[in-house]
Structures are given as structure tokens and as C-alpha cells.
Amino acid sequence: MQRVSYVRSFNTWVPYPYQNNISVLPVAQQIACIEGMIDAQEERIRAKDTPQTFDQWIIRMMGKGLADLFMRPYNFKVWAYPTTAMQCKWLGERVAAPSLKLVVSNTLQRKTAGNWGPNATFKFPAYGGTGGIWKAVAKTLPKEKLQFNKKVVSVDGPGHKVHLDDGGSIEYKHLISTMAVDYLVENLKVDNGDAALHKKMLAATKEGLLFSSTHVIGIGIRGELPPRIGDKCWLYFPEDDCPFYRATVFSNYSPNNCPQADVKLKTIQYADPSTGKPSGEAEGGPYWSLMMEVSESDAKPVNAATLLADTIKGCVATELCKGTDQIVSLYHRKFVQGYPTPSLGRDAALADLLPPLQEKWDILSRGRFGSWKYEVGNQDHSFELGVEAVDRALYGSPEITLDSPDYVNGRRNTERRLK
Ligand SMILES: Cc1cc2nc3c(=O)[nH]c(=O)nc-3n(C[C@H](O)[C@H](O)[C@H](O)COP(=O)(O)OP(=O)(O)OC[C@H]3O[C@@H](n4cnc5c(N)ncnc54)[C@H](O)[C@@H]3O)c2cc1C
């Protein structure tokens, strides 16, 4: 599929990446962006230090105009922490500042720039959504080695044994764990001689690691896909007219992501409930669907009781839906650990956690929350983390994805660009 991605800004759709397409914004905002970029360019020439926080990085690379219009509000909505509380090393050394020449020339010519980045095209399973990939992978594995619906309640490090909630246990030589590393450390049993080390590790998880929760909200709608949505894939929302930071037109990824037109469903509500009360009769389709994501943390609380209604209201406010749209399906799930935050204390904390787990107790804690590195925390990364952890356990091979995120992300982008 071709990525068709926009940012909702000033009541219009700005093609992604935002900075290359400011020609569609009002002139005052175009000026703010260009002035900011000029200041940033001068600052980059003058500066002797390197930025430490994400906020400093944004100002240095993009300038204040783009920071205030897009980068700061959008990133607060995504991460649920202010950009000043985040580090910038996770972005990698290869992220280039936007081209001032391109931005100015696009703006003067009222042009918009095309696709960019590692996922300008992407594949998606025809059936079963994203999980379809991993269910297909699981089918290739020996069934007798798989156990489901059991929880690890503790790990006996010195005894090399994992204890489960059903009273069972599994002995290990090398343990590759995708449990969140904070849970793992909290439930790790160690010898008395390692009590001080364990205490330090517990402190590292509590003081150094931050995460945000993610609410995923799905809305199924009756009707033809409106032309205003067209082939849009995913959309970014930096402004405060909706609680979500991203919306995905999930039915555009596969016709099997929503019911076929002959399926009859009742209308639950109109997008704007003041439109009226639905008849209660089950009717046919066609159908289309949206998936929204909302972040939450102590720094950005969410009212769970009103979130669904607020999200639907946000869909109407941002023209994803019309008030008269018939909603036939609603879904809301909270992932308590949604995003591992690249916080200021993260790398020091991980240095206190991952090496001793491995050296002392043969535990390779890997994956999105196992190794807590957002920059190598997507599905493809997490899969590679697992493959490389096995190679390390069996052959002592180095782990490139864990130790060199900048390299693997850069290499992947280069490979994509060469195609
Ligand atoms: C809102 C959202 C959107 C995302 N969008 C994308 C995207 O567009 N593209 C992309 O590539 N990635 C995306 N991701 C990331 C993707 O979900 C992760 O990369 C992937 O799930 C990480 O795999 P993992 O195996 O490391 O961790 P997980 O998928 O979290 O798996 C860890 C497993 O360990 C189990 N577990 C934890 N504790 C215990 C315990 N005590 N006992 C037994 N089992 C336990 C959990 O139940 C879980 O099954 C998104 C994530 C979120 C939250």
C-alpha cells in the first residue's frame, strides 16, 4: 500500500511530512515556520554543544514556528510527557534538519512535497489485522513448545527457574523474556549476596523508566467511504479539538477489516447524538472504520468515563465523521504500558538493568518493554530483538538491533530508498 498520510492543522489536511508542506497553512503560520527555520539554521552553525532534551533538539532542528505549531503539541499528545522531559538520542544521528531551501521553494510555489521516510509504502495482512502476521508465524512453530494463558509470577535467578500462576515452573538455561523489565525485576528472586544489586535495579526501574498508557478506540460506521476520507491511511492530530493524536482508516487497509455490506447491524448511535435516536432496526452496509489512539500518563490524565464520547466528538470536530453518521460498532481498550518513554533517565537505568540480568542470571530481557527502547520497539524491531537474543544465547553473537538502533534504522531507511 502507498502511505497517504496527513496532519490536521488549521482546519485543513497538511500532507506528511508537515514541514515540507506548510504552503497549505495561513501566511502568518508560514512566516513563523520559515523564520524559525532560519533562526535554527543560524543556531546550528553557532552552537558548540549538542541538544540534550527532545525540546532542545526540536528547536535546533526545526525552529520555534514548527515547534509551536506541530512538534511540541503533537509530541505531547503522543508521549503524554512534555518534550522537555524527554531525551533526543533515541532519534538517531541520521535525522536531518528539514531543508530550508525546499520549504521556502515549496511555499512560494504553493507546492506540496511527496512521500518520505521508511514507510512510504507498506504491506498489511488481507485477513486478521496486524495480529494475522504473528498468528501465521506461530503456526510454523512446534505446538508442544507453546503454552498460553499462563502468567509468570516470579523468576528464580540463581535457580534458573520461572514460576507460573498455575503452580507450574519451567527451568531455563538462557531466559529470553518479553515481560516488561520493571515487572521482571520486581518479581526476580536473587541470592542474599545480590540483595544490594537487586535494590539498585529496583530503584533504576522506579526512578529511570517512564511509560505512557495508550487507549485504542475503534468506530465502525455505516455508509460508503466518504470522498473526504478517500485513500487516507493514517492521520496526525496535534491540536486540542480532539483527544487523539492519530487516527487510522482501518477499513482502507483491507476490505476484511470490517463486515461485508450484506451483514445487518443495528445503529448504536449517531456520531452526534443530538441528531436523534436510532430506529433499533438492523440494517445492511456498506461499512467503513476508524481507529484512534489516545495517550495517558500522570502528566496527561484522561477521563476514561467520557473518553469514548469525547473521541467521537473529536471525529466530528476534525471532519473524520459527520454528525449524522450511523455508528454500528464501538471498541475501547487501554494498554497500560503502551509507549516506553525515551526519558532523560532511561539509558542510565537500562545500563543498570540489562547487563546484570544477563551476566548474573542469564536473562535476556528484550522487546518493546523488555528492553524499553522505543526506537527499536516496533514489531519488526521486536522480532529482530528476539532473533538476535537467541543467536547471542546460542552462539554469543552481538545484538545489532539492541545495541545499535541508529545503525539498524539508518540501514533500513537506506535499503528502502534504494528500491
Ligand atoms: C497503540 C500502539 C500502536 C502501535 N502501532 C504499531 C505499528 O503501527 N507498527 C508496529 O510495528 N508496531 C506498533 N506498535 C508496537 C507493537 O505493538 C510492538 O512492537 C510489539 O507488540 C512488541 O512485541 P513484544 O513481543 O516486544 O511485546 P508485546 O507484544 O507486548 O508482548 C509481550 C508479551 O508478554 C506477555 N507477558 C507480559 N508479562 C507476562 C507475564 N508476567 N507472564 C506471561 N506473559 C507475560 C504479554 O501478555 C505479551 O503477550 C504499537 C503499539 C501500541 C501500543
373-398 pLDDT, tens digit per residue, is: 999 999 999 999 999 999 999 999 99
Domain boundaries, the chain: 14-108, 143-209+343-418, 212-341
List ligand 1's pocket residues with C-beta within 6 A. 151-152, 178-179, 183, 214, 216, 293, 335, 338, 367-368, 370, 377-380, 382
- Cα separation, 35 vs 27, in Å, equals 12
- Count the helices and strands in the chain (H runs, E runs): 13, 16
Nine cell digits for residue 44: 546550528
Sign for the pseudo-dihedral over CA of 56, 62, 65, 71: negative
Average pLDDT over residues 274-295: 97
State pTM to two decimals.
0.94
The yes-or-no verdict on residue 253 having pLDDT over 50 is: yes
Q: What single DSSP character describes residue 298? A: T
Q: pLDDT confidence of 413, banded at 50, 70, 90?
A: low
pLDDT in tens, 120-138: 788 899 999 999 999 999 9
Per-residue model confidence (pLDDT) at position 414 = 47
Q: Report which DSSP code applies to 151.
A: -
Compute, in angstroms, the gap from residue 97 CA to the centroid of ligand 1: 31
pLDDT at 121: 81
**What mean pLDDT is predicted for residues 90-118?**
81
| Protein residue whose Cα sits closest to atom 37 of ligand 1 | 179
Phi and psi at residue 252, in whole multiples of 5°?
-75, -20
Of 83-92, 170-179, 195-204, the range with the lowest mean pLDDT is 83-92
Residue 313 CA to residue 271 CA, distance in Å, equals 7
Which of the pair, 19 or 216, is modelled with greater confidence? 216
Q: Which residues pair with 234 in a beta bridge?
A: 5, 248
In the predicted structure, residue 412 carries a pLDDT above the cut 60: no
Work out the average pLDDT over 231-236.
93
- Nearest residue (by CA) to ligand 1, atom 7, is 378
Read off the pLDDT of residues 366-377 as tens digits, 9 standing for 90 and up: 999 999 999 999
Query: Which pLDDT band, with edges at 50, 70 and 90, does 115 fall under?
Result: low
* Smallest CA separation from ligand 1 atom 31, residue: 178
| Residue 88 reports pLDDT greater than 60 | yes
pLDDT digit string (tens) for 327-366?
999 999 999 999 999 999 999 999 999 999 999 999 999 9
Arithmetic mean of pLDDT over the chain: 94
Nearest CA to ligand 1 atom 21: 379
Confidence of residue 419 (pLDDT cuts 50, 70, 90): very low
Give yes or no for residue 287 having a pLDDT over 70.
yes
Measure the CA dihedral 80/85/87/91, to 10°: 30
pLDDT for 1: 80
